[in-house]
Amino acid sequence: MDSEYMELTELEKEVLVKLAKEGPLSGYDLHLGGRRKRGTREALMSSSHWIEVQKKLLNEGLIRLCGTRNEKYRGRGRHLYFLTEHGAIASMSYGANIDLLERNLEYFKDKEEQDAVKVWIDECKTLGAERIRAIYEILTLKKPSDVQLSLDEAKEILKTLFEHPKWGSTFKSAVKMLKDILGE
Protein backbone atom coordinates (compact mmCIF):
# COMPACT_ATOMS: atom_id res chain seq x y z
CA MET A 1 0.00 0.00 0.00
CA ASP A 2 3.04 2.24 -0.46
CA SER A 3 2.04 3.22 -3.98
CA GLU A 4 1.05 6.68 -5.11
CA TYR A 5 -2.56 7.65 -4.63
CA MET A 6 -4.60 4.86 -6.10
CA GLU A 7 -7.74 5.62 -8.04
CA LEU A 8 -9.87 2.54 -8.56
CA THR A 9 -12.37 2.24 -11.36
CA GLU A 10 -15.98 1.33 -10.61
CA LEU A 11 -15.28 -2.15 -12.01
CA GLU A 12 -12.30 -2.65 -9.70
CA LYS A 13 -14.42 -1.54 -6.74
CA GLU A 14 -17.12 -3.98 -7.85
CA VAL A 15 -14.58 -6.83 -7.91
CA LEU A 16 -13.53 -6.03 -4.32
CA VAL A 17 -17.15 -5.91 -3.14
CA LYS A 18 -17.93 -9.19 -4.94
CA LEU A 19 -14.95 -10.93 -3.29
CA ALA A 20 -16.09 -9.62 0.12
CA LYS A 21 -19.57 -10.97 -0.55
CA GLU A 22 -18.76 -14.35 -2.09
CA GLY A 23 -15.34 -15.31 -0.77
CA PRO A 24 -12.50 -16.56 -2.99
CA LEU A 25 -13.31 -16.51 -6.70
CA SER A 26 -11.45 -17.38 -9.87
CA GLY A 27 -11.02 -14.99 -12.75
CA TYR A 28 -13.51 -17.19 -14.58
CA ASP A 29 -16.08 -16.54 -11.85
CA LEU A 30 -15.50 -12.82 -12.21
CA HIS A 31 -15.25 -12.36 -15.95
CA LEU A 32 -17.87 -14.91 -17.00
CA GLY A 33 -20.06 -14.98 -13.95
CA GLY A 34 -19.09 -18.62 -13.21
CA ARG A 35 -20.84 -20.92 -10.74
CA ARG A 36 -24.20 -20.48 -12.46
CA LYS A 37 -26.30 -22.55 -14.79
CA ARG A 38 -25.41 -22.32 -18.45
CA GLY A 39 -26.92 -19.29 -20.15
CA THR A 40 -27.63 -17.37 -16.94
CA ARG A 41 -24.21 -15.90 -16.26
CA GLU A 42 -23.84 -12.18 -15.75
CA ALA A 43 -20.36 -11.15 -16.83
CA LEU A 44 -18.64 -8.34 -14.96
CA MET A 45 -16.00 -7.96 -17.67
CA SER A 46 -14.22 -9.65 -20.55
CA SER A 47 -11.36 -12.04 -19.84
CA SER A 48 -8.79 -9.59 -21.25
CA HIS A 49 -10.16 -6.84 -19.01
CA TRP A 50 -9.98 -9.22 -16.03
CA ILE A 51 -6.23 -9.62 -16.63
CA GLU A 52 -5.76 -5.83 -16.38
CA VAL A 53 -7.95 -5.57 -13.27
CA GLN A 54 -6.22 -8.55 -11.66
CA LYS A 55 -2.73 -7.09 -12.22
CA LYS A 56 -3.71 -3.72 -10.76
CA LEU A 57 -5.44 -5.15 -7.69
CA LEU A 58 -2.54 -7.56 -7.07
CA ASN A 59 0.04 -4.78 -7.48
CA GLU A 60 -1.88 -2.49 -5.14
CA GLY A 61 -1.99 -5.25 -2.52
CA LEU A 62 -5.80 -5.39 -2.47
CA ILE A 63 -6.17 -9.02 -3.55
CA ARG A 64 -3.93 -12.08 -3.41
CA LEU A 65 -3.80 -15.54 -4.89
CA CYS A 66 -5.22 -17.84 -2.23
CA GLY A 67 -5.34 -21.28 -3.86
CA THR A 68 -6.80 -23.23 -6.73
CA ARG A 69 -10.05 -24.98 -7.43
CA ASN A 70 -10.09 -28.05 -9.66
CA GLU A 71 -12.75 -28.14 -12.33
CA LYS A 72 -14.46 -31.55 -12.32
CA TYR A 73 -15.03 -31.93 -16.04
CA ARG A 74 -11.65 -30.79 -17.30
CA GLY A 75 -9.39 -31.55 -14.39
CA ARG A 76 -7.60 -28.25 -14.56
CA GLY A 77 -7.29 -25.85 -11.70
CA ARG A 78 -8.51 -22.31 -11.54
CA HIS A 79 -6.57 -19.77 -9.50
CA LEU A 80 -8.65 -18.34 -6.67
CA TYR A 81 -8.28 -14.76 -5.50
CA PHE A 82 -9.34 -13.15 -2.25
CA LEU A 83 -8.95 -9.88 -0.41
CA THR A 84 -5.98 -8.78 1.66
CA GLU A 85 -6.47 -6.71 4.82
CA HIS A 86 -6.27 -3.55 2.69
CA GLY A 87 -8.66 -5.03 0.15
CA ALA A 88 -11.16 -5.77 2.91
CA ILE A 89 -10.96 -2.19 4.17
CA ALA A 90 -11.40 -0.91 0.62
CA SER A 91 -14.38 -3.19 0.03
CA MET A 92 -16.06 -1.93 3.21
CA SER A 93 -15.47 1.66 2.16
CA TYR A 94 -17.10 0.88 -1.21
CA GLY A 95 -20.23 -0.57 0.40
CA ALA A 96 -19.51 -4.27 0.83
CA ASN A 97 -21.94 -6.07 3.10
CA ILE A 98 -19.90 -6.40 6.28
CA ASP A 99 -21.94 -9.33 7.57
CA LEU A 100 -21.04 -11.32 4.45
CA LEU A 101 -17.40 -10.25 4.72
CA GLU A 102 -17.39 -11.38 8.33
CA ARG A 103 -18.56 -14.85 7.21
CA ASN A 104 -15.51 -15.01 4.95
CA LEU A 105 -12.90 -14.23 7.64
CA GLU A 106 -11.51 -17.76 7.40
CA TYR A 107 -10.08 -16.97 3.97
CA PHE A 108 -7.65 -14.34 5.21
CA LYS A 109 -4.10 -15.67 5.19
CA ASP A 110 -3.43 -15.85 8.92
CA LYS A 111 -4.88 -15.16 12.35
CA GLU A 112 -3.25 -11.73 12.58
CA GLU A 113 -4.88 -10.61 9.33
CA GLN A 114 -8.21 -12.13 10.38
CA ASP A 115 -8.07 -10.26 13.69
CA ALA A 116 -7.18 -6.97 12.00
CA VAL A 117 -10.05 -7.32 9.51
CA LYS A 118 -12.43 -8.28 12.33
CA VAL A 119 -11.55 -5.04 14.16
CA TRP A 120 -12.22 -3.05 10.96
CA ILE A 121 -15.55 -4.86 10.53
CA ASP A 122 -16.54 -4.05 14.11
CA GLU A 123 -15.57 -0.42 13.62
CA CYS A 124 -17.46 -0.22 10.34
CA LYS A 125 -20.55 -1.38 12.24
CA THR A 126 -19.94 1.39 14.78
CA LEU A 127 -18.60 4.22 12.63
CA GLY A 128 -20.36 3.49 9.36
CA ALA A 129 -19.02 3.08 5.85
CA GLU A 130 -18.61 6.84 5.27
CA ARG A 131 -16.17 7.22 8.18
CA ILE A 132 -14.33 4.07 7.13
CA ARG A 133 -14.11 5.51 3.60
CA ALA A 134 -12.54 8.73 4.92
CA ILE A 135 -10.01 6.76 6.94
CA TYR A 136 -9.30 4.47 3.99
CA GLU A 137 -8.76 7.42 1.66
CA ILE A 138 -6.20 8.81 4.08
CA LEU A 139 -4.48 5.42 4.29
CA THR A 140 -4.08 5.23 0.52
CA LEU A 141 -2.59 8.68 0.03
CA LYS A 142 1.07 9.62 0.04
CA LYS A 143 0.67 13.34 -0.41
CA PRO A 144 -1.16 15.17 2.39
CA SER A 145 -2.17 17.87 -0.10
CA ASP A 146 -4.43 15.32 -1.84
CA VAL A 147 -6.61 14.90 1.25
CA GLN A 148 -9.88 16.83 1.06
CA LEU A 149 -10.63 17.15 4.78
CA SER A 150 -11.18 20.06 7.07
CA LEU A 151 -8.93 20.38 10.10
CA ASP A 152 -11.79 19.27 12.36
CA GLU A 153 -12.46 16.18 10.22
CA ALA A 154 -8.78 15.25 10.24
CA LYS A 155 -8.58 15.68 14.02
CA GLU A 156 -11.70 13.54 14.48
CA ILE A 157 -10.29 10.74 12.32
CA LEU A 158 -6.93 10.94 14.11
CA LYS A 159 -8.77 10.66 17.43
CA THR A 160 -10.63 7.59 16.12
CA LEU A 161 -7.37 5.98 14.99
CA PHE A 162 -5.71 6.56 18.37
CA GLU A 163 -8.70 4.94 20.06
CA HIS A 164 -8.17 1.82 17.93
CA PRO A 165 -4.46 1.00 17.71
CA LYS A 166 -5.20 -2.64 16.88
CA TRP A 167 -6.27 -1.78 13.34
CA GLY A 168 -3.47 -3.84 11.93
CA SER A 169 -0.71 -2.69 9.62
CA THR A 170 -2.65 0.36 8.44
CA PHE A 171 -2.70 2.19 11.77
CA LYS A 172 0.83 3.60 11.82
CA SER A 173 0.72 4.89 8.27
CA ALA A 174 -2.64 6.58 8.92
CA VAL A 175 -1.43 8.28 12.08
CA LYS A 176 1.70 9.54 10.30
CA MET A 177 -0.37 10.82 7.37
CA LEU A 178 -2.80 12.67 9.61
CA LYS A 179 0.01 14.19 11.66
CA ASP A 180 1.51 15.47 8.40
CA ILE A 181 -1.87 16.93 7.41
CA LEU A 182 -2.25 18.62 10.78
CA GLY A 183 1.36 19.79 10.81
CA GLU A 184 1.96 18.19 14.21
Give a yes or no: residue 5 inside a domain: no
pLDDT digits 0-9 by tens, 46-69: 777 888 999 999 998 999 999 887
pTM of the model: 0.74
Give a yes or no: residue 17 inside a domain: yes
Q: Mean pLDDT of all residues in the chain?
A: 76
C-beta separation of 81 from 54 below 8 A: yes
Give a yes or no: residue 4 inside a domain: no
Q: CB-side exposure of 71: number of CA atoms within 13 Å? A: 14
> Which domain, by its residues, includes 17?
10-182
Split into its structural domains, the chain has a count of: 1
